Amino acid sequence: MTTPDFVVALREHVGHSPLNLVGVTAIVFRDEKVLLGKRADNGAWQPISGIVEPGEEPADTAVRECLEEAGVTVKVERLALVQQLPRVTYANGDEVDYLDLVFRCSWIAGEPHPADGELTEVGFYDLAAMGDIDDAHVRKIALAVAEDDPAHFRGGRPPRLDAPAARD
């Protein structure tokens, strides 16, 4: 996966320390099928995803990533899920904490193809035939299926009761 220039610049200052980044996952539907791609780096099947660039609207990131990675034009319909992903440690030691914004999208135009080298295969697949997909991605797709459900959020834990009181 290509690392955005702004992340490379940050890494010059923070080394391998954890970065908090915002990512998006685009769950794209065409008829009764969902857009999935096979990642070039690890061979995993998943929906289209990417990192939000500084100053970029997250929904615009979903549209951009679909065009860059799969060669398709999409329309973002709604936010389906907001979640903090477990910390990722890459092979080079870089650590990242991703806030993942999952969007339900609809296909507008273009036939899917591996457009930028991040995917080796890409296409629309029947929902019932998604056998080789991680459970976390299946959950994202399931939450995006409904056209008008409210967004889902993880967390919402109450504050610790033993936390020291704020001082004036």
Query: Taking 50 as the threshold, does the pLDDT of residue 117 lie above it?
Result: yes
Q: What is the pLDDT of residues 65-81, one digit of tens each?
A: 999 999 999 999 999 99
Dump strand ranges (E) for 55-139: 73-84, 88-89, 95-109, 119-126
β-bridge partners, 106: 29, 75
Q: What is the mean pLDDT of the chain?
A: 89
CATH of region 15-150 = 3.90.79.10
Q: What is the pLDDT of residues 119-147, one digit of tens each?
A: 999 999 998 877 789 999 999 999 999 87
Confidence label for 168 from pLDDT (cuts 50, 70 and 90): very low
Element (H, E) at 124: strand 119-126
Distance CA 88, CA 18 (A): 9
pTM metric for this prediction: 0.85
